[in-house]
């Protein structure tokens, strides 16, 4: 076993597994051992699937030995957010209301990971309903960089497991930032695909018109490998896109020379910790040094107003998604998400319609921002990981939570534009900083290409929080 096997990337491990130099059983047992050592404290896993993981690993080794190699995920241990239905395994969505929910089928993304030969280690903790706070009966993941610090929302378990070496890749979901927030707080790569690029069939809804599913990994190439496996049209999800899926890592080494990268300096620095703004400015310089052309752009002028629509849309759609259990079982929800559903149920049709109009206007303005550029550069989140108490995270919703905090995330959920988040340093408290690139619809291949180029020019993605 090589040293620090737990921090290897999928790209590094796949050839060794393919060539029989490293077995899936070895990898899986190594991961289960590390989970046993660390996750009692980190609490990233809601349900560990150790027995079935061992069975999958043995089957993968047998298939590979017989010459039936499925691809770079074959035999690689991964995990998924616990809102992805998994046949015969409880899927709670972060809520005590669904503590006994055992699906009789797999979500499409789980089926596709299984078809790729991946080894499923388990289901990962998240905020209740994939919103901002946790259910008091369930665990809160600890940020591996600093105890009692924010680990992002809502795919916090996915960010923690990936950053701490407890899975080689994970799935998260993003409705207002929930792939990018944990990627930023935990120092991982995160890809939010184009809306509809990945099927949502069998994934518990927060807000259907905003929800995305995507990977968190330790390199851009690894995100491409996982996205390749889960992307594509699904007849069970009528909102999934029929477009063909390119080789996500097919242009990995092309670089960024000649690419036009948009940058709004005010947007990337206003109301921000100086270290975030400085790290983004330096990252843009890195891309310029690699041959990209930096183009001055302006984000939507009414962005603050547009963002006020996000809570109305999200909470209203969440109330619809939970209609079978809320308000009938309201007392079983935690105070944070109960407040969110109550708010959503109170909105009038006129309020919802006005919010949709504001969303459409934001999408139109953002379309103009993206004209003439290939990518937009900005922070992944409005903050770095910060000290927080469990009492705050359990709710009720704090008054300090305002829509402006989602200015780097919600517009891309509104529009369905794909994004990649990349580690771009550590601040003076030794917690991660994160860069985001935003692309045009269906440009995930280019985002992964740009992310890889940034990683080749820096070493931030190789920083880890624990031995």
C-alpha distances in angstroms, 28 versus 33, 47, 121, 216, 270? 9, 16, 8, 19, 45
Rounded distance between C-alpha atoms, residue 278 and residue 287, angstroms: 14
Confidence of residue 2 (pLDDT cuts 50, 70, 90): very low
Phi and psi angles of residue 88, each rounded to the nearest 5 degrees, phi first: 75, 5
Share of the chain above pLDDT 70, in %: 99
Annotate 171-200 with DSSP letters as a single string: EEEESSSTTHHHHHHHT-EEEEPPTTSB--
The active-site residue, picked from 178, 279, 283, 380, is 178
Higher pLDDT, 400 or 146: 146
- Helices 349-369 and 309-321 pack at an angle, to 10 degrees, of 120
Confidence of residue 53 (pLDDT cuts 50, 70, 90): very high
The active-site residue, picked from 44, 95, 154, 279, is 154
**Region of poorest pLDDT, from 17-21, 82-86, 398-402, 425-429:** 398-402
pLDDT tens, residue by residue, 119-176: 999 999 999 999 999 999 999 999 999 999 999 999 999 999 999 999 999 999 999 9
Rounded distance between C-alpha atoms, residue 133 and residue 135, angstroms: 7
Mean pLDDT across the chain:
97
Residue 303 predicted with pLDDT over 50:
yes
Determine the pLDDT at residue 3: 54
81 flagged as catalytic: yes
Rounded distance between C-alpha atoms, residue 432 and residue 55, angstroms: 36
Q: Where are the beta strands (DSSP E) in 125-249?
A: 170-174, 189-192, 212-217
Q: Report CA 465 to chain centroid distance, whole Å.
A: 19
The active-site residue, picked from 8, 43, 81, 123, is 81
Domain ranges of the chain: 5-462
Higher pLDDT, 4 or 428: 428
pLDDT tens, residue by residue, 198-211: 999 999 999 999 99
pLDDT tens, residue by residue, 94-126: 999 999 999 999 999 999 999 999 999 999 999
315 flagged as catalytic: no
Return the structure tokens found at 43. Answer: 């609490």
192 flagged as catalytic: no
Determine the pLDDT at residue 4: 79
Report the DSSP beta bridge partners of residue 335: none
Q: Report CA 341 to chain centroid distance, whole Å.
A: 23
Annotation: CATH topology of 5-462: Amidase signature (AS) enzymes (3.90.1300)
Annotate 318-365 with DSSP letters as a single string: HHHHTTTTTTTTGGGS-HHHHHHHHHHHH--HHHHHHHHHHHHHHHHH
**Angle (CA) 40 43 45, round 5°:** 110
Phi and psi angles of residue 375, each rounded to the nearest 5 degrees, phi first: -140, 155
Q: What is the mean pLDDT of residues 451-460?
A: 98
| 3 state DSSP class of 377 | strand
């Amino acid at each position: 076993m090589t040293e620090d096997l737990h921090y290897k990337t999928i790209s590094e491990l796949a050839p060794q597994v393919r060539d029989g130099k490293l077995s899936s059983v070895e990898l899986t047992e190594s991961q289960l051992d590390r989970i046993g050592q660390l996750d009692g404290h980190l609490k990233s896993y809601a349900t560990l699937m150790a027995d079935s993981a061992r069975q999958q690993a043995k089957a993968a080794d047998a298939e590979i030995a017989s010459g039936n190699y499925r691809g770079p995920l074959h035999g690689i241990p991964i995990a998924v957010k616990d809102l992805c239905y998994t046949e015969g395994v409880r899927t709670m969505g972060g809520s005590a209301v669904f503590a006994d929910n055992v699906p009789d089928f797999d979500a499409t993304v789980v089926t596709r990971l299984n078809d790729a030969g991946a080894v499923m280690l388990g289901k990962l903790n998240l905020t209740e309903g994939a919103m901002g706070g946790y259910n008091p009966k369930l665990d809160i993941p600890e940020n591996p960089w600093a105890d009692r610090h924010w680990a992002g929302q809502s795919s916090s378990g996915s960010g923690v497991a990936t950053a701490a070496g407890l899975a080689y890749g994970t799935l998260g979901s993003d409705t207002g930032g929930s792939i990018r927030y944990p990627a930023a707080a935990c120092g991982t790569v995160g890809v939010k695909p184009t809306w509809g690029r990945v099927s949502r069939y069998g994934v518990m809804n927060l807000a259907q018109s905003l929800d995305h599913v995507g990977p968190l990994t330790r390199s851009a190439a690894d995100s491409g490998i996982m996205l390749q496996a889960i992307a594509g049209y699904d007849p069970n999800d009528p909102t999934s896109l029929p477009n063909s899926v390119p080789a996500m890592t097919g242009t990995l080494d092309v670089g960024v020379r000649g690419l036009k990268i948009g940058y709004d300096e005010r947007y990337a620095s206003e109301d921000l910790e100086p270290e975030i703004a400085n790290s983004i400015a330096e990252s843009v310089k890195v891309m310029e040094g690699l041959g990209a052309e930096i183009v001055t752009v302006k984000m939507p002028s009414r962005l603050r107003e547009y963002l006020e629509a996000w809570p109305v849309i999200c909470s209203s759609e969440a109330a619809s998604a939970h209609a079978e259990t809320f308000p009938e079982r309201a007392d079983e929800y935690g105070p944070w998400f109960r407040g969110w559903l109550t708010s959503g149920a109170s909105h009038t049709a006129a309020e919802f319609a006005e919010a949709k109009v504001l969303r459409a206007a934001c999408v139109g303005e953002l379309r103009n921002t993206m004209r003439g550029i290939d990518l937009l550069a900005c922070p992944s989140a409005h903050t770095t990981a910060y000290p927080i108490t469990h009492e705050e995270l359990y709710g009720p919703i704090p008054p300090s939570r305002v829509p402006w905090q989602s200015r780097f995330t919600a517009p891309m959920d509104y529009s369905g534009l794909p994004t990649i988040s990349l580690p771009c340093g550590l601040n003076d408290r030794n917690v991660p900083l994160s860069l985001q690139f935003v692309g045009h619809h269906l440009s995930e291949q280019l985002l992964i290409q740009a992310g890889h180029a940034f990683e080749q020019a820096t070493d931030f993605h190789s920083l880890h929080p624990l031995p």
